[in-house]
Chains A and B, each alone.
Chain A
């Protein structure tokens, strides 16, 4: 029997999905924007790597399902935000590959600028939707006091953009863009996004903890002083502030390190947000009751079978 207490919450795979999909989608969206500015501003790898990121996210999402073989069903309720997200992830992944293909002349459409701009526009649209989507999904959970409210939407959007741009820097380091004009401004932008995120995260927890409902205060307490506090500190300092400084101020080699740290910070942040969602709108006494239930591997259960 599965371990009960872990069963009734989303797990790390969903956090990883949010991370890969958000990063990949933002990278695709950014690639789309750069396409409008001038040709060759981004590394030829970006579109494909971003699309692969979104694809990995989708794969993890499927693996997180209790019944992966029925995954196609998640496309079937147009009224559900999860269905909306699934469609957008699929589109973004596909569009990312198509956008990347314009850099390779072997494809017959490679030179059709109008088509490239159309695809780029769609990439921007879908990519931004996917980048913001986890925040919107979580923010709607009135049952989960740490998530509930609009605050998570900018946080997820910012994080997706920061990690997406960090991915640009990494791709550029691996296979430089033909036109390097915007690389340094991009690095500065990434740094600003990272630092802004750190400020907003502190503010988010502070507001939840100081003015939230009883349940929000209890949930935020885990971040301020409880079991999530060390990890919170780690992604603030090591995943946002430090990479912000490295990416914004330093030489290209250190920028790569900073970009990698930023990715790590984004991943950890999402894992922590998922853990923060373990706090429900518990009723008085409910947690004590549930804490004393068997987790499922007790000898009496095995003996009773």
Chain B
């Protein structure tokens, strides 16, 4: 209850930190103690809403299993024997070890694995650049980054900003905001009612959002590329494209028309398991209802081999329909001009060219590593004056790093600095990842809890959570807008932010000149100095959060009319010159999914069903929150969606434990019999581990038992040659009852 008059109670403007929506939270604080909180009704995105997780701020803050002090391993790896030490000792010992490795094996022998937006990763990149290693990585390859880079090559920016308020149609391509972006779903439902917005959902599963869609296209997992190519074919064949826009602002239309001639709906029907008329209906709905949007989601990013081609085809769909940068369309904002971008905070010029060349995976996956990033960043600087963030957009290829730990090739990676991630559950092919984590010579882990990964670390650092840290949200450092939040309270115990970790380690390793900011607020204030001085007159970071908290630059539509597009030709390059230059197909070619009944018929005899490890599900986020009973009670066991007809065939009843097996291994989940998936499709939940179990080796919290990533594939043949995405979806599997 907001009893403002209560003596000594201060209301702090914070945000939830349990997913990417970062909903606004008003925290009621007295004498440094968080009394209560509620959703901030004035927050521009969340309008007072908080999901299951958002309501857990106090449970998370005071969780009995939180790591509260730096821990140093004193027993064998994974034995759970720790000694509490001071930050000074931890940083000193970690720094000494890193110095030793750098001296003996080169800076590139130190890699760092990240999680998703729980951190300030410009600080991590700044540390790594100054240290001299090119081997930072996240699960970036599975989540948006390759899309961003492909679209950079096609029209010079990634239109992740959508002007849906004025749109007539939106395609939710493998996205289920009904379980992942709650504020967005609210907007879509209202626009459907008030503006007649048409919503198309492309998803193998009948999701929360599909249930509210105007058209649902349940495709075979991993066949999105065939659908996208067929849509291009329909739009061109039926002359549904925006002829003026294509003629005046696009390059390569003639070649494209010829290129997609054979990608007919009939051709795609066999691959997508859709009816040709369904495919046509989708293409027509999108093309006829302009302006419109295609909303990005990680579904395409997680398909491995066809991912990059599909991103390219999807970008072409936007261009053909003229759905670029106009009112109601997908908007090309370019990087922020009013404050320092994350890229400008990263100090990328500190990393020597020679070290860039050692980035793991850069020889194979050029678009999202230094070779492609260099071309794209140059082009971007020429056009926008600024480059996209290097952290995320230009990273080592994670499976290549794990394999380098295991094989020593092309060189031995000796240290892994883990921050805000639990790779055993989050990265592909968990058995390989676990082997690498068990083998790596030196590992530190910054986390809230002792996850299966943290259990294998040499040092675990206690990290401040959502109510204990400020945050600035700029969508991986590439949005032109900004949302800022405060700390509710100072970090409890000895918790610190990840920024503090990288800074302290930097100071220990002689990087003092690069770390002038004592606190994260100081660094943020440096980043927004221009906003503070020239826009709002804020005297400190906290003052900026008090007011205005947000910065949305005035929307400028159709910039291309005056400036063209940020590509080498200045036009939308349907046929991409940058992709061609990097040795990739300049027009999107058809590539089958990692495993399919059409391309691998023998494998399909053994593994007759198609697996998707699919998206987020309430109430969890990735591999988090299983240890919070307040949400765990809603879903305390893992479930796999199976069509009742398929289950009947295998003698599986609702609620039975079943094994789901691919060539990589098998996991156990309970059967959820549902008509939401087609009879040939199996959908597992991801992320599962069991914090209530023995967390020591060998059990390690049951982290392989029900973990969907045991099933996924990261072998090079299953990775997208452009962006390095590996195969989480569209894999062949079999199921059987677990006794």
Contact = CB atoms under 8 A, between A and B. Distances in A.
- Touch test A–B (CB under 8 Å): yes
Interface of A: 291-294, 298-304
Nearest to A291: B655
Given A291-B655, A300-B636, 5 more contacts: A292-B637, A293-B633, A298-B692, A299-B690, A304-B629
A204 B626 CA distance: 48
A29 to B, nearest CB: 49
B629 A301 contact: yes
Contacts of A294: 633, 636
Interface string B682-693: 000000001111
Nearest to A296: B633
A303 B633 contact: no
A136 to B, nearest CB: 38
A300 B702 CA distance: 13
Interface in B649-705: 655, 690-693
B693 A304 contact: no
Contacts of A300: 626-627, 629, 632, 636, 690-692
Contacts of A298: 636, 692
A294 B636 CA distance: 7
Nearest to A304: B629
B721 to A, nearest CB: 42
Contacts of A292: 635, 637, 655
B11 interface: no
Nearest to A300: B692
Contacts of A302: 692
A303 B691 contact: yes
B128 to A, nearest CB: 36
A294 B633 CA distance: 6
Given A304-B627, A304-B628, A299 B633 contact: no
Interface string B511-533: 00000000000000000000000
11 contacts: A291-B655, A293-B634, A293-B636, A294-B633, A298-B636, A299-B693, A300-B629, A300-B690, A301-B629, A304-B628, A304-B629
A252 to B, nearest CB: 53
Contacts of B629: 300-301, 304
A298 B628 CA distance: 13
B631 to A, nearest CB: 11
A154 to B, nearest CB: 39
Chain B CB within 10 Å — which of A291, A298, A304 has the most?
A: A304
Contacts of A291: 655
Contacts of B635: 292
A298 B637 CA distance: 10
Contacts of B692: 298-300, 302-304
A45 to B, nearest CB: 53
Nearest to B654: A288
A14 to B, nearest CB: 28
Q: Say what secondary structure dominates the interface of chain B.
A: loop
Nearest to B626: A300
A11 to B, nearest CB: 23
Interface residues of B, number: 15
Contacts of B691: 300, 303
Nearest to A299: B692
Contacts of A303: 627, 691-692
Contacts of A304: 627-629, 632, 692
Contacts of B636: 293-294, 298, 300
Nearest to B670: A292
A304 B626 CA distance: 10
B485 to A, nearest CB: 28
Contacts of A301: 629, 633
Contacts of B693: 299
A303 B702 CA distance: 15
A31 to B, nearest CB: 53
Nearest to A293: B633
Q: Which 10 A-B pairs have the closest CB atoms?
A: A304-B629, A303-B692, A299-B692, A300-B692, A294-B636, A300-B632, A294-B633, A301-B629, A300-B636, A298-B636
Contacts of B626: 300
Interface in B292-317: none
A304 B632 CA distance: 10
Nearest to B63: A304
A195 to B, nearest CB: 41
Nearest to B639: A292
A292 B654 CA distance: 11
A291 B692 CA distance: 21
A157 to B, nearest CB: 41
A199 B152 CA distance: 81
Nearest to A288: B654
B13 to A, nearest CB: 30
A288 B588 CA distance: 45
Contacts of B655: 291-292
Contacts of B690: 299-300
A300 B655 CA distance: 19
A301 B637 CA distance: 12
Interface in B608-632: 626-629, 632
Nearest to B59: A304
Contacts of B628: 304
Interface in B121-141: none
Interface string B372-398: 000000000000000000000000000
Pick from B629, B637, B655, B691 the residue with the most CB of A within 10 Å.
B629
A168 B226 CA distance: 84
B60 to A, nearest CB: 12
A160 B467 CA distance: 64
A293 B655 CA distance: 12
Contacts of B633: 293-294, 301
A302 B691 CA distance: 11
Nearest to B629: A304
| Interface-central residue, A291, A299, A300, by most chain B CB under 10 Å | A300
B106 to A, nearest CB: 43
A292 B638 CA distance: 11
A196 B634 CA distance: 48
Nearest to B630: A304
Interface in B262-282: none
B450 to A, nearest CB: 13
A115 B693 CA distance: 72
B629 to A, nearest CB: 4
A304 B627 CA distance: 7
Nearest to B636: A294
Contacts of B634: 293
A292 B655 CA distance: 9
A67 B532 CA distance: 62
B70 to A, nearest CB: 24
B666 to A, nearest CB: 23
A147 to B, nearest CB: 28
Nearest to A301: B629
B569 to A, nearest CB: 55
B179 to A, nearest CB: 16
Q: Which of B628, B692, B693 has the most chain A CB atoms closer than 10 A to its own CB? A: B692
Q: Chain A CB within 10 Å — which of B626, B632, B655, B693 has the most?
A: B632
A302 B693 CA distance: 11
Q: Determine which residue in B633, B637, B690, B691 has the highest number of CB atoms from chain A within 10 A of its CB, and name it.
A: B633
A190 B63 CA distance: 65
A83 B626 CA distance: 46
A302 B690 CA distance: 13
Nearest to A4: B633
A210 B252 CA distance: 71
Nearest to B632: A300
A294 B637 CA distance: 9
A299 B627 CA distance: 11
A291 B653 CA distance: 14
A302 to B, nearest CB: 7
A68 to B, nearest CB: 29
Interface string B34-75: 000000000000000000000000000000000000000000
Nearest to B691: A303
Nearest to A298: B636
